[in-house]
């Protein structure tokens, strides 16, 4: 399959070197655009996407350091490699502090140039909103994801809640030979056990009470495309056996049906639990685990890829700022330090929530630490979120016009306070709340993803 590659932007005011770099890239089969200065570079960056920028340092009137800083403001996720002479190493060090990925000392060999490109360039993320990969751990993750995307191997994505497992799954689909087919996702934790089988496999008319017409399941809906089984470890054991058979036989039989339907799909599964532990406890089938983990990919937590934190925050400022009519908003240096110092138990989802809060609270065009309203770090008692997120129940109930909007807050506070009162015992919490274990697990997963709860 031919892989689509984003072009490389070359910024060099020396015509001979610019031509030589162009020849190297052309021989390597890499598309590129070459310009002779920083101002021209910013113009083309505004009109099309690039995988990486290669820029000289010594240029006039805008030098490479100024160009780098301008790129960091406009496109914080875009890798920049600077080319510099040995005598300008001090400038290169300053450039690294300003956000450059690396620098190449002139003169350099063609293979050194290509090695830097292969090391730092971002894969073509296309329409994959939220894909920011600055930290080496993230670059490695998406490099691996792009490689496995070229195959039809079943992929198992693991990682904490909120790390972006579905973002990676969609990235794999978008870079696969099935990109023109459907991407179908189902959250195995969000659908009651009684409905999950019919939702996955479909059903025939009259298969059960209420089945007034035949319905294709998620497997059939994903034909020629990709099916994402999100939080697959939450699937009941009885259904796991049926899922295993579907994966082995590559065919599905609807509930109440007699004729199997052949499948041509790619499977991606995710879990935020320790799957080996789930297998050991007997809550997840060992044979299904091995069937799903043909190509396992562990997604690092946000705190393990700290170089991504500020760029992702800037991305969310642009994304949500546009929706809120807050364009041109930026982070203060102190806010960036606060973001870097936070532990992010809720990962990228918690960061996104923090930026949305800040966009609402920041009165001007600068976000300060106070506007972020970061939640307490792990170690505090469960449910002890700051006051803005836990309005007193009496206050909410005394305002009927706000009651509907705040019922979710009231429910969350009640569940978390009850859990805290029983010392974190889910068994006792279930008894007090009068809900099922599955419902409590699902609610806590929601709160964890929103940054309100941590085990």
Q: Contact at 8 Å (CB) between 106 and 75?
A: no
Structure confidence at residue 408 (pLDDT) = 67
Q: What percent of the chain has pLDDT over 90?
A: 43
Across the range 292-318, mean pLDDT stands at 92
Assess whether pLDDT exceeds 90 at residue 301.
yes
Across the range 172-196, mean pLDDT stands at 90
Structure confidence at residue 250 (pLDDT) = 93
Assess whether pLDDT exceeds 70 at residue 390.
no
Question: Shortest CA distance to 51 belongs to which of 146, 138, 118?
Answer: 118
Tell me the three state secondary structure of residue 208: coil
Predicted confidence band of residue 428 (pLDDT cuts 50, 70, 90): confident
| In CATH, 302-374 is 1.10.8.60 | yes
Helix (H) or strand (E) holding 166: helix 165-174
Structure confidence at residue 254 (pLDDT) = 87
Assess whether pLDDT exceeds 60 at residue 46.
yes
Comma-separated ranges of CATH 3.40.50.300 domains in the chain = 136-298
Comma-separated ranges of CATH 1.10.8.60 domains in the chain = 302-374
For residue 423, how many other CB atoms are within 10 A of its CB? 10
Predicted confidence band of residue 88 (pLDDT cuts 50, 70, 90): low
Q: Are strands 266-271 and 261-262 parallel, antiparallel or unpaired?
A: unpaired
20-34, 87-101, 132-146, range with the lowest pLDDT: 87-101
Across the range 344-370, mean pLDDT stands at 92
Predicted confidence band of residue 398 (pLDDT cuts 50, 70, 90): very low
Report which listed range, 14-18, 215-219, 446-450, is most confident.
Answer: 14-18
CATH number of 8-120: 3.40.50.2300
Structure confidence at residue 424 (pLDDT) = 80
Structure confidence at residue 120 (pLDDT) = 76
Across the range 16-30, mean pLDDT stands at 92
- How many residues does this entry show for the chain? 455
Assess whether pLDDT exceeds 50 at residue 108.
yes
Work out the mean pLDDT of the chain and round it to a whole number: 82
Q: Contact at 8 Å (CB) between 172 and 226?
A: yes
Q: Contact at 8 Å (CB) between 153 and 292?
A: no
N-term to C-term CA, the chain: 44
Structure confidence at residue 399 (pLDDT) = 40
- Look at 246 and 73; give whichever has higher pLDDT: 246
How do residues 218-257 score in pLDDT, each as one tens digit? 999 999 999 999 999 999 998 999 999 999 999 998 888 8
Structure confidence at residue 405 (pLDDT) = 41
Structure confidence at residue 438 (pLDDT) = 76
Across the range 154-165, mean pLDDT stands at 94
E strand segments, 196-333: 202-203, 215-216, 226-230, 251-252, 261-262, 266-271, 295-298, 330-331
- Look at 299 and 425; give whichever has higher pLDDT: 299
Q: What percent of the chain has pLDDT over 70?
A: 84
Predicted confidence band of residue 402 (pLDDT cuts 50, 70, 90): very low
Structure confidence at residue 207 (pLDDT) = 67
| In CATH, 136-298 is 3.40.50.300 | yes
Tell me the three state secondary structure of residue 361: helix
Rg (CA), the chain: 25
């Amino acid at each position: 399959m031919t892989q689509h590659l984003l072009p490389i932007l070359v910024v060099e005011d020396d015509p001979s070197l610019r031509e030589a770099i162009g020849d190297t890239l052309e021989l390597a089969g890499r598309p590129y655009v070459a310009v002779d200065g920083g101002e021209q570079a910013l113009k083309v960056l505004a009109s099309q996407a690039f995988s990486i920028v290669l820029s000289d340092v010594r240029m006039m009137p805008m030098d490479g350091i100024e160009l780098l800083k301008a790129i960091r403001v406009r496109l914080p996720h875009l890798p920049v490699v600077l080319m510099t002479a040995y005598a300008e190493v001090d400038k290169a060090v300053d450039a690294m502090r300003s956000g450059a990925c690396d620098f190449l000392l002139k003169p350099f060999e063609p293979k050194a140039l290509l090695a830097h490109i292969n090391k730092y360039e971002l894969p073509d993320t296309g329409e994959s909103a939220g894909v920011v990969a600055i930290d080496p751990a993230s670059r490695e993750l998406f490099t691996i994801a792009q490689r496995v995307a070229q195959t039809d191997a079943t992929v198992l994505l693991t990682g904490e809640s909120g790390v972006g497992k579905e973002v990676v799954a969609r990235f794999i689909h978008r870079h696969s030979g099935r990109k023109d087919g459907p991407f179908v996702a189902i959250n195995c934790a969000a659908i009651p056990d009684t409905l999950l089988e019919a939702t996955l496999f479909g059903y025939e008319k009259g298969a059960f009470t209420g089945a007034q017409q035949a319905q294709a399941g998620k497997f059939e809906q994903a034909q020629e495309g990709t099916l994402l089984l999100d939080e697959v470890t939450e699937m009941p054991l009885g259904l796991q056996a049926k899922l295993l058979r579907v994966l082995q036989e590559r065919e599905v039989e609807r509930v109440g049906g007699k004729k199997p339907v052949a499948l041509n799909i790619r499977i991606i599964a995710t879990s935020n639990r320790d799957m080996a532990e789930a297998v050991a406890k007997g809550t997840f089938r060992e044979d299904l685990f091995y069937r799903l983990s043909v190509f396992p990919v562990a997604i690092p937590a946000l705190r393990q890829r700290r170089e991504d934190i500020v760029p992702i925050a800037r991305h969310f400022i642009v994304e949500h700022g546009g929706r809120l009519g807050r364009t041109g908003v930026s982070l203060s240096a102190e806010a960036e330090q606060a973001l870097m110092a936070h532990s992010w138990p809720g990962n990228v989802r918690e960061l996104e929530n923090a930026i949305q809060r800040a966009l609402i609270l920041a009165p001007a065009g600068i976000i300060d630490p106070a506007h972020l309203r970061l939640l307490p770090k792990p170690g505090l008692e469960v449910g002890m979120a700051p006051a803005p997120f836990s309005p007193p129940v009496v206050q909410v109930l005394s305002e009927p016009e706000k009651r509907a909007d705040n019922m979710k807050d009231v429910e969350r506070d009640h569940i978390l306070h009850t859990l805290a009162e029983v010392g974190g015992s889910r068994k006792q919490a279930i008894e007090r709340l009068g809900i099922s274990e599955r419902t409590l697990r699902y609610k806590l997963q929601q709160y964890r993803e929103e940054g309100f709860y941590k085990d």
